[in-house]
Amino acid sequence: MIAARLKGYFETSLADLTQPTRSDWIFALRTVSAGLIALLAAYALKLDHPQWAMMTVFIVAQPVAGMVLAKGFYRLLGTLVGGVAAIGITTVFGTNPWVLVTVLAVWIGICTFVSSLLRNPEAYGAALAGYTAMIIGLPAFGQPHLVVDLAVARCAEIVLGIVCAGLTSRLILPKLASDAIVSRLKRCILDLATYAGGAFSGGDPATLSTLHRKLITDAQTLGEMRAYARLEAPSFAPRAHPVRRTIGQLLSALSAARALHSHAAPKNAALIPVRSELQSLVSELATKPGALDDTALWVARLDAIAGNARQMPDASTDQGDDRVGTITRLTIAADFADALKQVLRGLDALRAPATRSARGSRQPALVVHRDYAGASRNAVRAALATLLVAAFWLTTKWSEAAGTVILVAVVSSLFAARPDPVQVAWGFFKGTLLALPFAFLVGQIALPALPGFGWFMLFVVPILVPTALVMANPRYVGVATAFA
């Protein structure tokens, strides 16, 4: 029985990994090629730590070109800020080790606080500014005259990796955010129709809750992809505002559907026809093949439903005991129909040729909740964890513990704002642990016997290509990136 459970677990976990798509293969081969090019260029330029160039490629690697550009830009910005901070902190406090590590820990706390208030990739850049100062400043302990050289070398290696990753993602069979936005929006509309159909028919609450969270996450992703698309091509700018309005209408429709779900099934003559028409429409929309190829019919039906819902019911109509509640529910139903209609029009606008037409009615930007209390807790935890490990290092004078200080600074700041930072950090640890035997075989056995860049490529490509394939799967990207 245990064997059967284990078999089922592994079959479920690895199902996505055993069927890579064409896009996954393109991403994997492109990423490995960019990493090897960056490493070769770093060796040719005689940089101090050429491995950082290749590591940067795998860190910023993303399936969509705009995501690579955005993450690369903020990685560069975070590295520059962290390098300047390391130079300043080490120059002023470098003579006293306890003061140095305390100030570095406080800096990490500040950057973690800022990171917790931002979203990717800005959050990544802020966290990077924190732990980069530790990576540069700690090795310069006792020899502050080297900190400038360390900072310059680190920035050069990272710039090289970013350039290689950005060029390959843009030139070699690129996957553009502007193209992905349309396909993701279509999936969101179909998911919204599925959610609304379940909400109007009293579907399973657990299933609806899962789909509700997925739609919110997808809406956030659409907002991020809008920014990525503008980085890829300034010509996307005229479409940026329609995308923002469409995301807002998508969330409005989702909110209205959830509100209707919270009410009991209608028992009066005014509500039953409207709800039945909506349920019929969203069911057809969710199940009909090619339903979104032509939205004109759906828009016309939604317009009619919204008009019917906004007609004030006669006092003589059977409305149960709650006339105000009936009118409220009809208004929510009309709002849902109008919002879904605007989402469909937004899809049509994205598929139409771009024009420099007027933006139409101004739509406020999506409001981002900023949890200052949570950010403060994250900052204190990151600073305290770094300081405690640094105190252990200084007290025991164990030289190898310096690497542990840097690792704790990286993990505690980078994963602080995640919903489950412990699980994410555990995934990072698992990826590192899985990489150890491969690193030992290649670095300690194979390369000493057969040195040279050609042999290195022969040894690592069969390992890194499957790793990059796993990186293409969002479920395992953390573990795979740490492994690489």
Buried (b) or exposed (e) across 409-445, using 16+ Cβ within 10 A? bbbbbbbbbeeebeebbebbeebeeebeeeeeeeeee
pLDDT in tens, 231-266: 777 667 667 777 888 888 999 899 888 888 776 555
Buried (b) or exposed (e) across 157-168, using 16+ Cβ within 10 A? bbbbbbbbbbeb
Does the pLDDT of residue 227 top 60, yes or no? yes
Q: What is the pLDDT of residue 104?
A: 92
Q: Is the separation of the CB atoms in 206 and 169 below 8 Å?
A: no
Give the residue among 265, 177, 293 at the shortest CA–CA distance from 224: 177
Q: Is the separation of the CB atoms in 467 and 484 below 8 Å?
A: yes
User: Cis peptide before 437, with omega less than 30 degrees from 0?
Assistant: no
Q: What is the pLDDT of residue 463?
A: 93
One DSSP character per residue, 301-364 reads HHHHHHHHHTSPPPTTS--TT-HHHHHHHHHHHHHHHHHHHHHHHHHHHHHSPP------S--P
Does the pLDDT of residue 152 top 90, yes or no? no
pLDDT in tens, 300-329: 888 888 888 877 665 545 545 566 667 778
CA 159 vs CA 79, 132, 154, 228: distances in Å: 9, 14, 9, 19
Does the pLDDT of residue 9 top 50, yes or no? no
Which tokens in the block code for residue 436? 């150890």
Phi, psi (degrees; rounded to nearest 5) at 305? -65, -45
Mean pLDDT value of segment 447-459: 89
One DSSP character per residue, 366-391 reads PP----HHHHHHHHHHHHHHHHHHHH
Phi, psi (degrees; rounded to nearest 5) at 359? -75, -10
Mean pLDDT value of segment 167-188: 84
Give the residue among 251, 253, 400, 219 at the shortest CA–CA distance from 333: 253
In this prediction, residue 360 has a pLDDT band, given cuts at 50, 70 and 90, of very low
Mean pLDDT value of segment 64-78: 83
Q: What angle do CA 125, 131, 132 make, to 5 degrees?
A: 80
Q: What is the pLDDT of residue 102?
A: 92
Q: Is the separation of the CB atoms in 60 and 67 below 8 Å?
A: no
Q: What is the pLDDT of residue 114?
A: 92
Does the pLDDT of residue 164 top 80, yes or no? yes
Q: What is the pLDDT of residue 353?
A: 66
Q: What is the pLDDT of residue 473?
A: 81
Domain boundaries, the chain: 23-174+371-417, 178-351
In this prediction, residue 175 has a pLDDT band, given cuts at 50, 70 and 90, of confident
- Count Cα neighbours of 81 within 13 Å in the Cβ-side half-sphere: 18
Higher pLDDT, 99 or 62: 99
In this prediction, residue 10 has a pLDDT band, given cuts at 50, 70 and 90, of very low
Q: Is the separation of the CB atoms in 133 and 383 below 8 Å?
A: no
Q: 164-178, 312-326, 368-382: lowest mean pLDDT where? A: 312-326
Which tokens in the block code for residue 349? 């606008």
Mean pLDDT value of segment 350-371: 59
Q: Which fold, 178-351?
A: Methane Monooxygenase Hydroxylase; Chain G, domain 1 (1.20.58)
Mean pLDDT value of segment 469-476: 84
Average pLDDT score, the chain: 81
Q: What angle do CA 478, 31, 181 make, to 5 degrees?
A: 75
Does the pLDDT of residue 180 top 60, yes or no? yes
Distance of CA 132 to the CA centre of its chain: 21
Q: 166-170, 267-271, 277-281, 325-329: lowest mean pLDDT where? A: 267-271
* Of the ranges 175-189, 196-210, 359-373, 384-398, the best mean pLDDT one: 384-398
Q: What is the pLDDT of residue 265?
A: 56
Q: Is the separation of the CB atoms in 220 and 251 below 8 Å?
A: no
Q: 99-108, 136-145, 252-261: lowest mean pLDDT where? A: 136-145
pLDDT in tens, 416-429: 766 666 777 788 78
Percent of the chain with pLDDT over 90: 15
Distance of CA 441 to the CA centre of its chain: 33
Report the alpha-carbon distance of residue 102 to residue 427 in Å, rounded. Answer: 28
Does the pLDDT of residue 178 top 50, yes or no? yes
Q: Is the separation of the CB atoms in 339 and 292 below 8 Å?
A: no
